[in-house]
Amino acid sequence: MKFIIGLIMVVVGALITIKSEKLLEFFGRIDFFEDKLGTSGGSRLGYKLIGLLIFFLGMLTMTGLIGGFLQFVLSPLLKWSNPEL
């Protein structure tokens, strides 16, 4: 089941990355991305970054490495909230 969910995430992430222009036309510009990522192409770049993030998480889910990756990324927060670790 993890493989199917990961495969769906990979496909959706790739489509978001490839079709970022259509997403920009449909949803419009996002002020946060325009302010932080550039003047005219910030939203387009933001959609591409979201697509790449979904693609990457889908690959991790598909291969079964998502648990270890999340543990690595969140370990500073988990150790801070539970000092006995």
The position carrying tokens 């927060």 is 77
User: What integer is the mean pLDDT of 19-32?
Assistant: 89
C-alpha to C-alpha distances, 57 to 21, 36, 37, 48, 63, nearest whole angstrom: 22, 23, 22, 14, 10
Q: Quote the CA–CA distance of 1 and 38 in Å, as a whole number.
A: 39
Q: What is the Cα Rg of the chain in Å?
A: 16
Average pLDDT over the chain reads: 88
Domains of the chain, by residue range, sit at 2-81
Query: pTM of this prediction?
Result: 0.81
Among residues of the chain, what percentage have pLDDT more than 70?
92
Instruction: Name the pLDDT band for 8 (thresholds 50, 70, 90).
Output: very high
